[in-house]
Amino acid sequence: MNARTALVTALEVLGWWAALTLLWLVLISTVDTLEWAVGTSAALVGAVTARAARRAVGAR
């Protein structure tokens, strides 16, 4: 993996992470610190899965 692919991967995961955190904030009703912690970790799981899924489909 060269520097450029690593950058693209990082950007893709970061983008998904931000979008999914936003989705979590939309779904919940009241925001507190624990919600932030749980929401960001769930969104990170989702973001990594999204990247892995796109790679699995792309690599053929």
Partner 1 sequence: MTRRLRMIVLALGGAGLAALFVAACFGMPGFGGDRHPYGDRAVHASLARRTANTISSVNFDQRAFDTLGEMSILFTSVLGTVVLLRQTRDEKRGRPQPQEVALPVRRYALVVLPVALVSGLYVIAHGQLSPGGGFQGGVVAATALHLLYLGADYRALERIRPIGVFEVGDALSASAYLVTGLAGVLAGTAFLANTLLPYGTFNTLSSGGTVPLLNAAIGMEVACAIVILLARFLDQAVEIEEDNGKR
Partner 2 sequence: MNGWTWTATIALGVGVGAAVWGVVTGPLRRRVVAQNLSSALAAPGLLLLAQGYGRPAYVDLALLLALLGPVGTLVFARLLADDLAGDPPRAWAVTLAVAGYGAVVVLVLCAVTGPGRAMVKLLVVGALLIGGNLVASRALSGGFPGSRRG
Name the residue nearer to partner 1 (CB basis): 3 or 60: 60
**Tokens 């624990």, located at residue:** 34
- CA–CA gap between residue 11 and residue 13 (Å, rounded): 6
Q: Which residue has the tokens 């792309």?
A: 58
Closest approach of Cβ 56 to partner 1, in Å?
Answer: 4
Instruction: Specify whether the CB–CB gap between 20 and 51 falls below 8 A.
Output: no
Q: Which does 50 bind (CB under 5 to 8 A by kind): partner 1, partner 2, none?
A: partner 1
Asked if 23 is part of the footprint of partner 2 (rule: CB under 8 A), the reply reads: yes
Asked if 34 interacts with partner 1 (CB under 8 A), we say yes
